[in-house]
Amino acid sequence: MKAGRITGAASLEAFCRGRLHTAGLVSASLAAAAVLGVDPAALDAAADARTPSPALRIAGRKLGRQLMRAARATWPLGELEALAREFPKGAHQPVVLGLAARAAGLEAVDAAYCAAYESVSGPASATVRLLSLDPFDATGVLARVAPEVDRVADRAVEAARRVVDGGVDALPAASAPLLEISAEVHAAWAVRLFAS
């Protein structure tokens, strides 16, 4: 946002669509695969491989650690405990999300939808706080991309089912180089408002 790429509802919508079909699809696929019982350590390694930016890997693990605390307190599950022991600094957020969803009795599509929605709701919320975008405009963007969130969640579940049969190499590896570069720039700022 500081770079001036998002200036209003139209540019926010374009950004959200791009993020949804790249980072959102990857995250949703990882979460869905975790629900389907794919080895969380293998999924975490796959998340690392699909996240070139060290800053985004650190943020993803930090967010995963925070989610893990809530998930372990709410839905005790041996796999969550094992993952917390294996990754004391945190596993990637989508992997934790998938295990938490399974612990809560949800399906792969539910976890995929949560991850896909988060990929667009976070930026929409940030524009309200950082750009003073009208909250109704941000909500309108989310409403307009909602059908695509549904499609991405469905694609993620299809990919996760391929992972069950063929291994983590079947996961999508859609990239968003500008997001990766921007994260590295953001990580160098003296004052940061949130993890990105």
Do 91 and 40 meet the contact criterion of CB atoms below 8 Å apart? yes
Distance CA 159, CA 40 (A): 16
Distance CA 56, CA 76 (A): 28
Comparing CA positions, the residue from 72, 147, 157 lying closest to residue 117 is 147
pLDDT at 75 over 80: yes
Buried b (16+ CB within 10 A) or exposed e, 69-103: eebbeeeebeebeebbeebeebbbbbbbbbbbbbb
pLDDT at 12 over 60: yes
Do 32 and 112 meet the contact criterion of CB atoms below 8 Å apart? yes
Extract the tokens encoding 95.
């992997």
For residues 140-149, average pLDDT: 97
* Per-residue model confidence as pLDDT tens digits over 176-187: 766 666 656 666
In a domain, 45, yes or no: yes
pLDDT at 175: 77
pLDDT at 53: 87
- Quote the number of domains for the chain: 1
pLDDT at 33: 98
User: Considering the chain, what is the average pLDDT of its residues?
Assistant: 89
Distance CA 87, CA 66 (A): 12
In a domain, 192, yes or no: no
Sign of CA dihedral 9, 188, 94, 69: negative
In a domain, 194, yes or no: no
For 38: left if phi > 0, alpha if psi spans -120 to 50, otherwise beta; the answer is: beta
In a domain, 153, yes or no: yes
Per the structure, the complete domain to which residue 54 belongs is given by 9-187
Distance CA 38, CA 64 (A): 17
Distance CA 92, CA 138 (A): 27
pLDDT at 82: 92
In a domain, 3, yes or no: no
For residues 28-40, average pLDDT: 97
In a domain, 170, yes or no: yes
pLDDT at 105: 95
Extract the tokens encoding 75.
């839905």
* Per-residue model confidence as pLDDT tens digits over 85-129: 999 999 999 999 999 999 999 999 999 999 999 999 999 998 888
Distance CA 101, CA 19 (A): 22
- Hunting for tokens 């996760």 — which residue is that? 160
